Amino acid sequence: MAASPLDVFDWTSHPPYDYAPYRSTARRSPREALLPMPERMRNLRAPVYGADRLGALDHDLTRNAVRNGAPLGERIIVIGRVLDERNKPVAGALVEVWQANAAGRYVHKGDQHDAPLDPNFLGAGRCVTDANGVYRFLTIKPGAYPWGNHPNAWRPNHIHFSLFGDYFASRLVTQMYFPGDPLLAFDPMVQGVPEQARERLISRFSLDVTEEGYALGYVFDIVLRGAAQTPMETKR
């Protein structure tokens, strides 16, 4: 009998499915054995996500939804490499991002946070890694927002990442945080990740990536497997 995905999972790098301080996991985490992926889907190769239909501005969140002006907030550049367990670049991976605007509000009907929406900011983008595994996004630094998990609960500034590889089942969903954010110490999603792996979720400020007079630069490398793998998003 094949081993269960839970049996071979590296729990030293990833958060538990059920983490009591993150209250939603009590009802959203699996209670039964996971079902194996059907063979016909497991081996379904790319393109399964329409990468050939990427738009010229899909990677630029400061321009891909502009209606009557630039979005409000601090412009930033987020760049990084997608690597495998041997530190080799992963080319052709679809990288998708989504985030709150500078005021901490998502463009989603479920977000009722009392903060303004920005008509010039959608908060979503995508790109494909190049031959060196590099991706690059232009965006606005997201704001913190309350989320009701516990008294006075605020999510740190963060950007959601989703990566698709060559296969249908090869997906990683994670979050990128910013250095020096005081909310990291109080956030159950961050604290649920084993301590030795938390730094892998925090981007690095880079003056080399920063563009003079335009935007600050942050580097966030993503490792898909192995001892240095990037932790997945806490299961919800």
Pairwise CA distance, residues 59 & 41, whole Å: 28
| C-alpha dihedral, 57 to 219 to 175 to 121, nearest 10° | -30
Catalytic residue from among 14, 59, 126, 155? 155
β partners of residue 164? 94, 171
Catalytic residue from among 19, 22, 106, 177? 106
Pairwise CA distance, residues 25 & 236, whole Å: 5
**What is the rounded average pLDDT of the residues 95-114?**
95
Catalytic residue from among 160, 177, 200, 218? 160
The answer to whether residue 145 is catalytic is yes
What does the pLDDT read at residue 167?
65
**What is the rounded average pLDDT of the residues 25-34?**
81
- Cα 38 to its chain centre, rounded Å, is 27
Tell me whether strands 222-223 and 75-83 are parallel, antiparallel or unpaired. parallel
The answer to whether residue 155 is catalytic is yes
Give residues with Cβ within 8 angstroms of 203, minimum separation 6. 78, 80, 176, 177, 178, 179, 218, 219, 220
Q: Of 33-47, 102-116, 192-206, give the lowest mean pLDDT range.
A: 33-47
Pairwise CA distance, residues 115 & 117, whole Å: 7
In three-state secondary structure terms, 51 is helix
The answer to whether residue 106 is catalytic is yes
What does the pLDDT read at residue 25?
84
- Structural domains for the chain: 5-30+37-223 (2.60.130.10)
Residue holding tokens 């989603």? 108
- DSSP at 32: S
Please state the three-class secondary structure of 55-99 as a single string: CCCCCECCCCCCCCCCCCCCEEEEEEEEECCCCCECCCCEEEEEC
Catalytic residue from among 59, 81, 158, 200? 158
Give residues with Cβ within 8 angstroms of 194, minimum separation 6. 11, 12, 13, 14, 15, 231
User: What's the chain's average pLDDT?
Assistant: 88
What does the pLDDT read at residue 68?
86
Pairwise CA distance, residues 137 & 95, whole Å: 10
**What is the rounded average pLDDT of the residues 81-110?**
94
What does the pLDDT read at residue 48?
53
Could you please report the per-residue DSSP string of 104-117?
A: S--SSTT---SS--
